[in-house]
Structure 1
Amino acid sequence: MPSPLHRYKAEFFKALAHPLRLAILDALREGEKTVTVLQKELGVEQPAVSRQLAFLRQQGLVAVRREGALAYYRTKDPEVYAFLYPLSPTEPGAVRDSPLFHDHLNLRGTSACVRVGPHETNTLRSGTGGSIEQMGRWGFPQGGFRRWGRGVFWLTLLLLALAACRGTGEAPEPPGSPPPAPGPAPSVRTLIYQLTGYPASGLTALGAAAAGLYVIDLTKDGATPWSGDDLAALEGKPVLAYMEIGGMENYRPEYSVVQKDAPDLLLNSVPGWSGEWYAKYWDERWWNLVVRPRLDKALAAGFKGIYLDLVDAYEGINLNLVPGETRDSLAVKMVALLGRISQYVKAKRPDFWVFPQNAPELRMRPGYLPAIDGIGLEELFFYATDKPCTDSGCQERLAHARAIRDAGKLVLTVDYATRPENVRAACEKSRAERFVPYVTVVDLDRISPLCP
Structure 2
Amino acid sequence: MKRKSLVSIIIIAFIITSCSLTFQNEWETPFKNWLYQLQNADPFEIASSGFELAVIDYSRDGNEEGEYSPEEIKIMLDAGVTPVAYLNIGQAEDYRFYWKNNWYENPPEWLGEEDPMWEGNYFVKYWDPEWKKIIFSYIDRILSQGFKGVYLDRIDSFEYWSSKGQIPRREAAICMIDFIENIAEYIRKENPDILIIPQNGENILEFDDGRLLSVVSGWSVENLFYFKTNPLPDNETENRIRYLDTLRWHGKFILSVDYVDDGSDSLENLERILDYYKKCQEKGYIPYAARSDLLLDEINVIEGIQPVK
TM-score range with shorter-chain normalisation?
0.7 to 0.9
Within 1, Cα distance between the matches of 2:38 and 2:93?
14
Partner of 1:404: 247
Indicate how the Cα distance of structure 1 residues 187 and 311 shifts in structure 2: closer, same or farther if over 3 A, else same. Answer: closer
1:207-286 alignment runs, 5 A limit: 207-224=47-64, 225-234=67-76, 235-256=79-100, 259=103, 263-286=108-131
Q: Secondary structure at the match of 2:172?
A: helix
Partner of 1:204: 44
Q: Secondary structure at the match of 2:122?
A: strand
- Shift of residue 397, structure 1, vs aligned partner: 0.6
Which residue, out of 260, 267, 278, partners 1:428? 278
Partner of 1:438: 288
- Shift of residue 276, structure 1, vs aligned partner: 0.9
Look up the equivalent residue of 2:109 and give its one-letter code: D
1:314-329 alignment runs, 5 A limit: 314-317=158-161, 319-320=163-164, 322=166, 325-329=167-171
Q: Secondary structure at the match of 1:277?
A: strand
Within 1, Cα distance between the matches of 2:144 and 2:92?
22
Partner of 2:156: 312
- Shift of residue 257, structure 1, vs aligned partner: 7.5
Partner of 2:5: none
1:24-63 alignment runs, 5 A limit: none
Look up the equivalent residue of 1:314 and give its one-letter code: F
Within 2, Cα distance between the matches of 1:294 and 1:379?
27
8 Å Cα contact 2:40/2:298 also seen in 1: yes
Partner of 1:357: 199
Partner of 1:342: 184
8 Å Cα contact 1:363/1:404 also seen in 2: no
Within 1, Cα distance between the matches of 2:244 and 2:84?
20
8 Å Cα contact 1:437/1:451 also seen in 2: no
8 Å Cα contact 1:243/1:307 also seen in 2: yes
Q: CA RMSD in A?
A: 2.1
Indicate how the Cα distance of structure 1 residues 317 and 295 shifts in structure 2: closer, same or farther if over 3 A, else same. Answer: same
8 Å Cα contact 1:307/1:357 also seen in 2: yes
8 Å Cα contact 1:281/1:287 also seen in 2: yes
After TM superposition, the score normalised by the length of structure 1 is 0.55
Partner of 1:368: 212
Higher mean displacement: 238-247 or 362-371: 362-371
Within 2, Cα distance between the matches of 1:333 and 1:318?
11
Within 2, Cα distance between the matches of 1:232 and 1:388?
39
Within 2, Cα distance between the matches of 1:321 and 1:255?
26
- Shift of residue 333, structure 1, vs aligned partner: 0.4
Within 2, Cα distance between the matches of 1:185 and 1:295?
28
Residue correspondences, number: 262
Partner of 2:21: none
8 Å Cα contact 2:28/2:251 also seen in 1: no
Within 2, Cα distance between the matches of 1:388 and 1:422?
9
Residues 388-425 of structure 1: CA distance to partner in whole angstroms, max 9, x if unpaired? 12242321111111221121011000011112211111
Partner of 2:136: 292
Within 2, Cα distance between the matches of 1:304 and 1:254?
22
Indicate how the Cα distance of structure 1 residues 409 and 320 shifts in structure 2: closer, same or farther if over 3 A, else same. Answer: closer
Within 2, Cα distance between the matches of 1:187 and 1:330?
32
Within 2, Cα distance between the matches of 1:321 and 1:256?
27
Indicate how the Cα distance of structure 1 residues 258 and 191 shifts in structure 2: closer, same or farther if over 3 A, else same. Answer: farther
Look up the equivalent residue of 1:215 and give its one-letter code: V
Residues 341-370 of structure 1: CA distance to partner in whole angstroms, max 9, x if unpaired? 011111120011100001112223121101
Partner of 2:229: 386
8 Å Cα contact 1:381/1:394 also seen in 2: yes
Within 1, Cα distance between the matches of 2:239 and 2:102?
36
8 Å Cα contact 2:219/2:252 also seen in 1: yes
Partner of 2:265: none
Within 2, Cα distance between the matches of 1:208 and 1:401?
31
Within 1, Cα distance between the matches of 2:54 and 2:217?
15
Higher normalized contact order (CA 8 Å, seq sep 6+, divided by chain length): 2
Indicate how the Cα distance of structure 1 residues 233 and 220 shifts in structure 2: closer, same or farther if over 3 A, else same. Answer: same
Q: Secondary structure at the match of 1:253?
A: coil
| Larger-gyration structure (1/2) | 1
Within 2, Cα distance between the matches of 1:271 and 1:422?
30
Look up the equivalent residue of 1:389 and give its one-letter code: L
8 Å Cα contact 1:266/1:278 also seen in 2: yes
